[in-house]
């Protein structure tokens, strides 16, 4: 039984597309590589040839040559487009492709990194009768034309060809070692941590050396607990507590004590102690709103609202910021994979029906010298994140729709990746319950050393060394494993084969079992957990964040049926222990007890120390307008500003129509390129009832006024779904805070203000929060400097509408119609896009107030708009957001390929608004531009009676946007093609 290693090289055949000489240029993969090489700005751009490479390992007698030949032809290569060569280990010095290549760079996965190809290849080989392959891995090598300098090789290795976190590059004739792990010994002995006698310094050292991210008070509490027990904690007990008490898992800032000082602009101070900010703001708002249609809020993996008599809709949004900073592709992929598991783990399991995504990056064209040391270039982060979400979501067969991208220099070290998942769940499956005696099953992927310490890692700041220290925290997902879990889980749900389910996310089994067994107790035999490879310690098994695993509580009598179902779907499903009635978390490994923790201490024992927070209201500053040649010029600049510009390049890469329920797309209009306000889906094939999804966010308001930023985000999220026809009385929202380092009082103070804005917004609109999440400590430390993100609050919105056939899109429909402007414009340009991007050259505006929201008027506007749309009075509706009226009108016009004319003198405006620029570009909330047939004008006026709404213009034949100022003079006259062209500049840039 002598194992041998075989290599299979797969070359592209030339001439499939005409045109030599560069074989790279024949193939999109080579072309995109050449484009990346171009971005390095070398004088000599090398020619490249990419070759796929596979390594197989197995006993020689199990690898018969004739069958291998079939495998090479049918499995590893495409006989029409590729040629392949099978060899004993070792690639030939000169590749078959030619002699003009001077260098070879072989890229291999690092040992232990998930390789999805392995499972599929082993399966395919077994189908061909080759059963004995023990390992398989995919790699690739690149051949380069000209001579490369060592510096160039280094740049290629780290910046272009591979991500050092998960891959290694072997140059030229250095020996290539496939990343097959050799079996290592596991840790069997129980190991204790001497905590009882440790002084403060020692306690902190234990925390930091173990990457536990526990502070001194917490370490002391643990010490006290074990002193009272008269024994030392084991390593796995300490790890379990660290996972459970991490910011990521228990949100100790948001639910803790805060000593809050607010200093008003005139210097007056108010002091108060806030006990549980989350409860005082977000949750309190939901209680105050009192709806009848919320089925589950803040108690499960996602919030659930009623859809119809039989079905509910769940919604959850998560962040996956730190992993995405280090390994954008894997980080974003596991971000979307993780939130999908939240949906699967809601109630007895919801079916994921829509993904949402919102990203914040550094500017795409940030000069290299301004990229923080140790950080990846924002463009690389963007491409990686988009690809990660794309590949995971598309493979899962879930439409990814609804999203946004914001750019700001302060995200350059710490990007934000929000991933959302909407699910469909039978109303009788919303509740779950663990009973003592239920078996604990782990279903899905195997456990490996991936993602150790993800929960604790994401609870601290990123530094320039994060990449090296925390690479173990990065996981690589395998969407197909998760799809298989989904297929099994939903069938098992409908057959009631389990009583409770949750996902393995941050903290792995430790969090999942610890949470499920919180009220009962749990006993787990860690050696039963299926492993990807040997050599994991029992602690690693317990806290690994390996992806695609769910934990079920299975009644004994259903276990056999569940196992049979999983077998039929080729999914691993393993009994690892049972839920008890002891109130203890008991772990054993190969017979030895390694943990016996009191659940009560684990979940309630965290010390609650008050944290200082301060908010100093800035003194009001008058608006300072930027210098710009004309309003038309400013409009072009705004449309081209990355936050506003078209994201078509991203949107089209997502399968946004799979599952066959998409009825309002992200891109609308006859050319299918207009920026729809919201997306809509019919989740059931036999019903026209629909869900409408939108979001709101404006990070640039936060520095000026976090309270108003939150109000504005709520307003925008609700505007988006209302503009499409969503019912505001059936709209729910979610909050996701990504904040800086809350150990700094002023950062925490801003968080308090924003949370209060959320409360007042939700109550004002009568809209409940149903779920939320916070990600704190988003800060990047490098070279002695720390770069904190702006306080970033994402509000996601979900509306139910009775009849999807009554929705509207934002593209203008035809000439000769009337334009209504609804909502009042104030001079509210603080933090506006006009101030940031509207000016010539470096000219920026400043000062001014952030837009507020006027209640109860705002709520009445949304209700009236919904009535008008439902009654068929509205042809198109678009909300006014970034860039104000001018941008909204331009977008409606070029999206509909239909010109229009607007008269600012007729716009409903607050007294004192004198400047055309304010009317054009102010971002005042709760405003809409509507297109109405002339026959419906009176009816629309009636609907909006008593509210600020007025006829401001008409749609026209000429493909031009014309806007007339307060005095009647023309202030904007721009062709639609030119406007569209400016708006598409970002997508053109991204497409290269």
Binding flags for other proteins, 603-642, as an x/- string (CB under 8 A): ----------------------------------------
How far is Cα 553 from Cα 420, in angstroms, rounded to an integer? Answer: 26
For other proteins, the closer CB: 697 or 808 = 808
Nearest Cα residue to 201 out of 228, 223, 234: 223
Piece of the chain touching other proteins by CB under 8 A; list 88-96, 372-380, 392-400, 832-840: 392-400
Does the footprint of other proteins cover residue 80 (CB under 8 A)? Answer: yes
Does the footprint of other proteins cover residue 289 (CB under 8 A)? Answer: no
Token pair for residue 201? 């310094």
Residues 640-659 binding other proteins (CB under 8 A) are 652-659
How far is Cα 529 from Cα 538, in angstroms, rounded to an integer? Answer: 10
Strands 439-444 and 500-503: unpaired
Nearest Cα residue to 212 out of 189, 195, 227: 195
Token pair for residue 391? 């590949």
According to the 3-state scheme, what is the secondary structure of 527-540? HHCCECCCCCCHHH
In this chain, which of 203, 313, 429, 664 binds other proteins, going by CB under 8 A? 664
Nearest distance, CB of residue 70 and other proteins, angstroms: 8
Does the footprint of other proteins cover residue 808 (CB under 8 A)? Answer: yes
Piece of the chain touching other proteins by CB under 8 A; list 139-147, 327-335, 712-720, 800-808: 800-808
Q: Which of 27, 103, 251, 320 is catalytic?
A: 320
Residues 84-143 binding other proteins (CB under 8 A) are 116-117, 119-121, 123-124, 127-129, 138
Does the footprint of other proteins cover residue 856 (CB under 8 A)? Answer: no
Nearest distance, CB of residue 138 and other proteins, angstroms: 8
Residues 461-480 binding other proteins (CB under 8 A) are 478-480
Query: At residue 334, what are phi and psi to the nearest 5 degrees?
Result: -75, -20
Q: Is 320 assigned a catalytic role?
A: yes
The answer to whether the bond into 413 is cis (omega within 30° of 0) is no
Nearest distance, CB of residue 990 and other proteins, angstroms: 10
For other proteins, the closer CB: 119 or 263 = 119
CA angle 491, 496, 497 (to 5 degrees): 80
Question: In sequence order, what DSSP letters do the residues of 361-409 get, joined into one string?
Answer: ES-TT--GGGSPTTPPPHHHHHHHHHHHHHHHHHHHT--EEEEEEEE-G
How far is Cα 131 from Cα 166, in angstroms, rounded to an integer? Answer: 29
Query: At residue 852, what are phi and psi to the nearest 5 degrees?
Result: -105, -175
| Residue 235 near residue 193 (C-beta atoms within 8 A) | yes
For other proteins, the closer CB: 580 or 653 = 653
Token pair for residue 889? 């009108």
Nearest distance, CB of residue 440 and other proteins, angstroms: 25
How far is Cα 878 from Cα 888, in angstroms, rounded to an integer? Answer: 7
DSSP E strands, 739-870: 769-775, 779-782, 785-788, 792-801, 818-822
Residues 937-966 binding other proteins (CB under 8 A) are none
Binding flags for other proteins, 40-79, as an x/- string (CB under 8 A): ----------------------------------xxx-xx
For other proteins, the closer CB: 518 or 682 = 682
For other proteins, the closer CB: 128 or 910 = 128
Does the footprint of other proteins cover residue 154 (CB under 8 A)? Answer: no
Token pair for residue 322? 């730190």
Does the footprint of other proteins cover residue 287 (CB under 8 A)? Answer: no
Nearest distance, CB of residue 140 and other proteins, angstroms: 13
Binding flags for other proteins, 407-446, as an x/- string (CB under 8 A): ----------------------------------------
For other proteins, the closer CB: 217 or 688 = 688
* Cβ count near 495 (within 10 Å): 12
Does the footprint of other proteins cover residue 816 (CB under 8 A)? Answer: no
Q: Is 603 assigned a catalytic role?
A: no
For other proteins, the closer CB: 184 or 935 = 935
In this chain, which of 813, 860, 867, 915 binds other proteins, going by CB under 8 A? 813
Count residues binding other proteins (CB under 8 A). 73
For other proteins, the closer CB: 34 or 973 = 34
CA angle 804, 806, 807 (to 5 degrees): 75
Residue that is written with structure tokens 């014309």 in the block = 962
Torsional class of 940: left (φ above 0), alpha (ψ -120 to 50), beta (otherwise): alpha
Does the footprint of other proteins cover residue 806 (CB under 8 A)? Answer: yes
Nearest Cα residue to 246 out of 776, 740, 612: 776
Q: Which of 27, 103, 225, 248 is catalytic?
A: 248
What residues act catalytically? 248, 320
């Amino acid at each position: 039984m002598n194992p041998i290693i075989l290599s299979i090289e797969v070359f592209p055949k030339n001439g499939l597309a005409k045109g030599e000489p560069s074989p790279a240029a024949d193939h999109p993969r080579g072309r995109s590589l050449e484009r990346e090489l171009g971005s390095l700005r070398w004088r000599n751009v090398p020619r490249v040839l990419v070759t796929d490479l596979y390594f197989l390992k197995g006993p020689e007698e199990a690898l018969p040559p004739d069958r291998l030949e079939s495998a090479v032809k049918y499995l590893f290569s495409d006989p029409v487009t590729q040629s392949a060569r099978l060899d004993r280990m070792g690639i030939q010095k000169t590749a078959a492709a030619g002699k003009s290549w001077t260098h070879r760079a072989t890229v291999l996965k690092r040992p232990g990194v998930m390789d999805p190809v392995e499972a599929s290849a082993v399966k395919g080989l077994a189908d061909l009768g080759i059963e004995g392959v023990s390992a398989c891995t995919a790699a690739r090598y690149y051949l380069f034309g000209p001579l490369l300098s060592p510096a160039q090789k280094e740049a290629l290795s780290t910046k272009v060809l591979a991500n050092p976190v998960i891959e290694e590059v072997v140059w030229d004739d250095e020996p290539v070692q496939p990343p097959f792990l050799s079996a290592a010994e596991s840790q069997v002995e129980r190991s204790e941590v001497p905590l009882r006698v440790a002084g403060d310094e020692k306690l902190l050292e234990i925390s930091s050396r173990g990457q536990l991210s526990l502070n001194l008070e917490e370490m002391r509490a643990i010490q006290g607990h074990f002193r009272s027990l008269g024994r030392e904690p084991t390593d796995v007990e300490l790890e379990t507590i660290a996972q459970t008490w991490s910011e990521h898992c228990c949100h100790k800032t948001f639910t803790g004590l805060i000593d809050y000082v607010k200093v008003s602009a005139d210097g007056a101070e108010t002091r108060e102690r806030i006990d549980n900010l989350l409860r005082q703001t977000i949750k309190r708002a939901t209680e105050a709103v009192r709806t009848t249609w919320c089925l589950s809020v803040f108690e499960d993996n996602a919030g659930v609202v009623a859809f119809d008599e039989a079905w509910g809709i769940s919604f959850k949004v998560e962040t996956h910021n730190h992993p995405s900073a280090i390994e954008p592709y894997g980080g974003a992929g596991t971000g979307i994979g993780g939130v999908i598991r939240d949906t699967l783990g809601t109630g007895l399991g919801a079916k994921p029906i829509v993904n949402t995504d919102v990203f914040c990056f550094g500017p795409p064209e940030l000069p290299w010298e301004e990229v923080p040391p140790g950080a990846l270039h924002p463009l690389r982060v963007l491409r990686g994140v988009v690809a990660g979400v794309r590949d995971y979501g598309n493979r899962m067969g879930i439409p990814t729709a609804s999203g946004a991208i914001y750019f700001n220099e302060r995200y350059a070290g710490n990007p934000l990746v929000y991933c959302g998942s909407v699910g469909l769940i039978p109303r009788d499956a919303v509740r779950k319950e663990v009973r003592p005696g239920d078996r604990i099953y782990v279903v899905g992927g195997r456990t490996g050393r991936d993602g150790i310490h993800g929960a604790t890692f994401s609870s601290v700041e990123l530094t320039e060394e994060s990449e090296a220290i925390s690479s173990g925290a990065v996981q690589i997902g395998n969407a197909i494993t998760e799809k298989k879990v989904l297929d099994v889980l939903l069938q098992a749900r409908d057959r009631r084969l389990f009583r409770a389910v949750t996902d393995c996310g941050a903290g792995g089994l430790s969090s999942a079992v610890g949470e499920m067994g919180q009220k009962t107790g749990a006993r787990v035999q860690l050696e039963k957990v299926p492993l990807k490879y040997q050599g994991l310690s029992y602690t690693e098994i317990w806290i690994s964040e390996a992806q695609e695993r769910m934990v079920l509580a299975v009644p004994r009598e259903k276990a056999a049926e569940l196992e049979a179902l999983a077998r039929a779907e080729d999914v691993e499903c393993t009994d690892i222990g049972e839920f008890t009635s002891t109130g203890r978390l008991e772990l054993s490994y190969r017979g030895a007890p390694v943990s016996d923790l009191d659940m009560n201490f684990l979940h309630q024992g965290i010390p609650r120390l008050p944290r200082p927070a301060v908010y100093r209201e800035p003194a009001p500053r008058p608006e300072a307008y930027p210098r710009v040649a004309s309003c038309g010029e400013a409009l072009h600049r705004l449309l081209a500003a990355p936050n506003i510009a078209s994201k078509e390049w991203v949107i089209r890469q997502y399968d946004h129509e799979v599952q066959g329920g998409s009825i309002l797309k992200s891109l609308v209009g006859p050319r299918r390129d207009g920026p729809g306000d919201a997306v809509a889906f019919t989740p059931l094939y036999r019903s026209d009832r629909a869900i409408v999804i939108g979001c709101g966010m404006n990070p640039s308001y936060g520095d000026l006024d976090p309270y108003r930023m939150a109000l504005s985000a709520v307003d925008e999220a609700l505007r988006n779904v209302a503009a499409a026809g969503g019912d505001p009385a059936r709209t729910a929202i979610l909050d996701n805070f990504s904040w800086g380092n809350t150990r700094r009082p002023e950062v925490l103070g801003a968080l308090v203000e924003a949370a209060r804005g959320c409360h007042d917004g939700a109550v004002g609109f009568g809209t409940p929060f149903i779920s939320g999440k916070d990600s704190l400590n988003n800060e990047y430390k490098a070279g002695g400097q720390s770069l904190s993100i702006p306080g970033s609050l994402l509000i996601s919105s979900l509306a139910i509408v009775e009849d999807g056939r009554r929705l509207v899109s934002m593209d203008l429909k035809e000439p000769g119609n009337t334009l209504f402007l609804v909502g009042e414009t104030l001079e509210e340009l603080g933090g506006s896009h006009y101030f940031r991007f509207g000016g010539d050259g470096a000219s920026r505006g400043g000062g001014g107030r952030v837009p507020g929201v006027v209640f109860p008027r705002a709520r009445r506007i949304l209700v009236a708009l919904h009535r008008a749309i439902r009654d068929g009075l509205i042809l198109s509706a678009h909300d006014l957001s970034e860039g104000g009226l001018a941008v909204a009108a331009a977008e409606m016009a070029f999206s509909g390929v239909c010109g229009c004319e607007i008269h600012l003198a007729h716009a409903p405006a607050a007294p004192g608004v004198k400047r055309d620029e304010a009317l054009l570009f102010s971002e005042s909330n709760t405003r809409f531009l509507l297109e109405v047939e002339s026959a419906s004008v009176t009816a629309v006026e009636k609907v909006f009676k008593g509210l600020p709404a007025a006829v401001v213009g008409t749609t026209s034949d000429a493909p031009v946007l014309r806007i007339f100022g307060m005095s009647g003079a023309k202030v904007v006259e721009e062709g639609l093609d030119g406007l569209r062209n400016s708006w598409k500049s970002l997508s053109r840039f991204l497409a290269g």
